[in-house]
Amino acid sequence: MDDIRHDWTREELAALYALPFADLIFRAQSIHRRHFAANEVQISTLLSIKTGGCPEDCGYCSQSAKHETGLKASKLMDVDAVVADARQAKQAGATRFCMGAAWRQPKDKDLDAVCEMVSEVKSLGLETCVTLGMLNQAQAARLKDAGLDYYNHNIDTSPEYYSEIITTRTFQDRLDTLDAVREAGINVCCGGIVGMGESESDRIDMILTLATLPQHPESVPINLLMRVEGTKLADAPPLDVLDFVRTIAVARIAMPKSFVRLSAGREYLSEEAQALCFLAGANSIFYGEKLLTTPNPEAHKDRQLLAKLGMKAMEALPGN
Ligand code: SAM
Ligand code: DTB
Ligand code: SF4
């Protein structure tokens, strides 16, 4: 049965979200097993290649110049240093290397360097992902030529809640970048953040937006807000863990073939909570003790957790 749909309605997703917990998890797990090896998890490692000083005002972000977070801004890293980090990430077991830059959009000169990074990291046998802010079609095409596998660009929240979080670029700007990435033939990595004080219906509408795109993102990161001192959202009320798990389960059911990534926020989650996220259909994580600027569980703790759960790291896809 082909259960890939692009015509989900808000009512359908809301009904899923409201199911008794065990029923929701059972449905998510059943769909997960139809499309993926049940005990495999895709492993990505993140590196901030250009940190801080960003002109955007994203309310959650440690790297916005509008926030006093004590973060030291730095210039774009050298290609060699990035490749050395990627080599280490591969040795530690990652199959994908994601490079993030605190830009509104890349300048052409910066893109030259990023393209070089992409080609070199790819030649190590890693999948490549970058997140550089807004892109136009020509820039996306250049990244594709350099061999880029994935572009990460999140919608962050529901269209309705969006202006509470970001005012310096619109929801439509984000959709336009996603179109440019698709058009260039690059895989799309697109998800959002929960725990930003949004309502349940905002979480549902965020998934609705993703699941009704003409093509589902290949990768859907669900981030639990990392509350960073000095940002607008430093004191956002913590989200109930079971609501986080429900969000993952609905994403899994609505986008059966996508990798759903248990992304930022694992530092706040117990092993039991993470196990519930995997049961709900999450099958990708960030690995390594730092995300971009905030902490992530230590690699040896993650290896232990995966071993306890009998889960294995997925092999890199053929061709990489
Ligand atoms: N500057 C680029 C952009 O925003 O498109 C790329 C880097 S940006 C840090 C990538 C994504 O990380 C954001 O869209 C957001 O979804 C996520 N993110 C940033 N800060 C976060 C936080 N404190 N907690 C959870 N997710 C966060
Ligand atoms: C995504 O969705 N999550 C990652 C990645 N894409 C680039 C970023 C998480 C950042 C968490 C906050 C920080 O470390 O600065
Ligand atoms: Fe800049 Fe990206 Fe942070 Fe927004 S999320 S402030 S665009 S680095």
Percent of the chain scoring above 70 in pLDDT: 98
pTM flag (> 0.85): yes
- 């030529």: which residue's tokens? 145
Q: Quick: pLDDT tens for 183-236.
A: 999 999 999 999 999 999 999 999 999 999 999 999 999 999 999 999 999 999
**Mean pLDDT, all residues of the chain:** 96
Percent of the chain scoring above 90 in pLDDT: 96
Q: What is the pLDDT of residue 282?
A: 98
* Contact assessment for residue 94 and residue 287, using Cβ atoms and an 8 Å cutoff: yes
Q: Quick: pLDDT tens for 178-196.
A: 999 999 999 999 999 999 9
Confidence class for position 64, pLDDT limits 50, 70, 90: very high
* Contact assessment for residue 285 and residue 39, using Cβ atoms and an 8 Å cutoff: no
Ligand 1 contact via 296 beta carbon (within 6 Å): no
* Atom in ligand 2 nearest the alpha carbon of residue 295: 14
Angle between helices 10-17 and 200-211 in degrees, nearest 10: 130
Q: What is the pLDDT of residue 316?
A: 62
Entry field: residues in the chain: 320
Mean predicted confidence (pLDDT) in 90-96 = 91
Cα(178)–Cα(137) distance, integer angstroms: 10
Short-list 51, 32, 30, CA closest to 40: 32
In Å, how far are 133, 192, 228, 301 from 61, measured between CA atoms? 13, 13, 7, 26
Ligand 3 contact via 63 beta carbon (within 6 Å): yes
Cα–ligand 2 centroid distance for 220 (angstroms): 12
Q: Judge whether residue 318 has pLDDT over 70.
A: no
Cα–ligand 1 centroid distance for 107 (angstroms): 19
Mutate to test the pocket of ligand 2, among 103, 291, 293, 296 (most ligand atoms within 8 A of CB): 291
* Contact assessment for residue 215 and residue 188, using Cβ atoms and an 8 Å cutoff: yes
Confidence class for position 315, pLDDT limits 50, 70, 90: confident
Ligand 2 contact via 291 beta carbon (within 6 Å): yes
Q: What is the pLDDT of residue 317?
A: 54
Q: What is the pLDDT of residue 17?
A: 98
Confidence class for position 3, pLDDT limits 50, 70, 90: confident
Ligand 3 contact via 61 beta carbon (within 6 Å): yes
Ligand 3 contact via 292 beta carbon (within 6 Å): no
Q: What is the pLDDT of residue 93?
A: 87
